[in-house]
Amino acid sequence: MKTAIVNLGPIVSGDWREPYAKGDSILTEGGKITAIGTAPASLKDFDVVIDADGATAIPGFIDSQVHNTFGDWTPRQKTVGFLESYTHGGTTTAISASEVHVPGRPKDPEGVKALAVAAQRCFLNFRPGGMRVHAGSIIMEPGLKEEDFREIAEKGVWLAKAGFGAVKTPYDYGPMIAWAKKHRMVTMVHTGGSSIPGSSGIWADHLIKIQPDVSFHVNGGPVAMPDEDFPRIVNESKIALQVCTAGNLRTTLLLWKLTKEAKQVDRFLIATDTPTGSGIMPLGMMYTITHLASLTDMPVETAIAAATGNNAVIYRLNSGFLKPGKDADIVILDSCVGGSKKEALDSLRNGDIAAVAAVITDGVPRFVGRSRNTPAPNRKVRVAECRVPMDFAGAAH
């Protein structure tokens, strides 16, 4: 499909160093962004033309901690369709935090390998609401050997999670993390107090010793580690630092201060850590952006980058940026009807959510006009031309 988005206002790139792209149009073909700039004089070759009416384009959010199971269902909250609902909050990519919520999940080496491979394969061609889900994160359990990580990596599993296994101490994850890294897997570790009965709390001493790629919910999931651990994680390691909506807001703000002072903005990531006991949060990514943009000196464009481009770099994805050659995962935002601000970015700076006026994933419009999870946009974002048998209208509330 060839899709053109024209008459845009600001185009936020997802790169905090160069936060804006020049132009008023984004052109896509075959699931990739082909050009950003000025639209061609004729758009007759495009299957769909979206008139943004001056609204703001951003990359689709990458929620780098989602507790998926199989299908679009969460047993933790007994809810069907939560992933599809997250697309209506602007999330176009989700990354598994391991399938730990699968009822009766296996805990032996063969079982955790089988669970990871099955989840990874099931989501290869299943895109709820158009979202891409990177599933199949092996749960590190005692008994796993290097050969096990080599085997599942060859089968396509590239995510590994520590923090829920039956190890004696968190230090026992060290060899498994090293094996996973050797086989090009991205390694992630629960951080803070225990979130489920029987698992261990993990603190700065553990993280610095075992050296994962990502410290999950470093702000608490839901219970944060002691304040004195935060400067150590920032200054004594190169671990990516993920904050989550379902964590501790005060330590989220503390971590930004420390990260900025250390000039380590690339390591700052945003996710939701849902569904959990904290619930289902279709607008979770946007809420954390508003918290940072309104309660700290973090530029709103940097907060968006932490939810998009920063995640893409750490997880080696081709999405997260509005640049030619990147995956055509695009969200159109606007200020909400009834709000005090007239522009989407000003709304976020003000601590308000923005209206999600359209979501495009893989170059395909998933809805255009309004989201069912936000108030209506002020601008009339619409399909101006359509040469395929769909209207892409957003569902009404």
Give pLDDT, residue 198: 56
Give pLDDT, residue 390: 79
Which CATH number is 25's domain given?
A: 2.30.40.10
Q: Is residue 47 domain-shared with residue 163, that is, in the same domain?
A: no
Residue 30 domain-assigned (yes or no): yes
CB 54 within 8 A of CB 98: no
Give pLDDT, residue 200: 67
Q: Which domain holds residue 37?
A: 2-59+321-386
Which CATH number is 179's domain given?
A: 3.20.20.140
Q: Is residue 197 domain-shared with residue 268, that is, in the same domain?
A: yes
Q: How confident is the model at residue 392 (pLDDT cuts 50, 70, 90)?
A: confident
Q: Is residue 109 domain-shared with residue 146, that is, in the same domain?
A: yes
Encode pLDDT of 215-268 as tens digits: 999 999 889 999 999 999 999 999 999 999 999 999 999 999 999 999 999 999
Residue 307 domain-assigned (yes or no): no
Give pLDDT, residue 374: 97
Residue 48 domain-assigned (yes or no): yes
Q: Is residue 39 domain-shared with residue 107, that is, in the same domain?
A: no
Q: Is residue 182 domain-shared with residue 325, that is, in the same domain?
A: no
Split into its structural domains, the chain has a count of 2
Q: Is residue 143 domain-shared with residue 240, that is, in the same domain?
A: yes
Supply the mean pLDDT for the chain.
Answer: 95
Residue 111 domain-assigned (yes or no): yes
**What share of the chain has pLDDT > 70, as a percent?**
97
Residue 296 domain-assigned (yes or no): no
Instruction: Name the strands in the sheet holding 268-271, side by side, starting at the edge strand that comes first in the sequence.
Output: 137-139, 159-162, 186-190, 214-216, 240-244, 268-271
Q: How far apart are CA 274 and CA 96, in angstroms?
A: 10
Residue 357 has pLDDT above 90, yes or no: yes
Give pLDDT, residue 83: 97
Give pLDDT, residue 165: 82
Give pLDDT, residue 221: 81
Could you say which of 218, 252, 282 is where a domain stops?
A: 282
Q: Is residue 127 domain-shared with residue 242, that is, in the same domain?
A: yes
Q: How far apart are CA 245 and CA 243, in angstroms?
A: 7
pTM: 0.96
Q: Is residue 227 domain-shared with residue 132, that is, in the same domain?
A: yes
More confident residue, 164 or 188: 188
CB 189 within 8 A of CB 214: yes
Residue 103 domain-assigned (yes or no): yes
Q: Averaged over 3-7, what is the pLDDT?
A: 98
> Before 275, cis peptide (omega within 30)?
yes
Q: Averaged over 82-107, what is the pLDDT?
A: 96
Could you say which of 282, 305, 332 is where a domain stops?
A: 282
Task: Report which residue type is found at 67.
Answer: H
Q: Is residue 67 domain-shared with residue 129, that is, in the same domain?
A: yes
Q: Select from 286, 235, 244, 326 the least CA-distant residue to 30.
A: 326
Residue 118 domain-assigned (yes or no): yes
Could you say which of 282, 312, 343 is where a domain stops?
A: 282
Residue 387 has pLDDT above 90, yes or no: yes
Q: Is residue 214 domain-shared with residue 114, that is, in the same domain?
A: yes
Q: Which DSSP helix (H) or strand (E) runs through 153? A: helix 146-154
**β-strand partners of 269:** 242
Encode pLDDT of 32-54 as tens digits: 999 999 999 899 999 999 999 99
Q: Is residue 158 domain-shared with residue 243, that is, in the same domain?
A: yes
Residue 239 domain-assigned (yes or no): yes
Q: Is residue 146 domain-shared with residue 216, that is, in the same domain?
A: yes
Q: How far apart are CA 82 and CA 79, in angstroms?
A: 7
DSSP codes joined into one string, 177-208: HHHHHHTT-EEEEE-BS-SSTTPPPB-HHHHH
Encode pLDDT of 108-136 as tens digits: 999 999 999 999 999 999 999 999 999 99
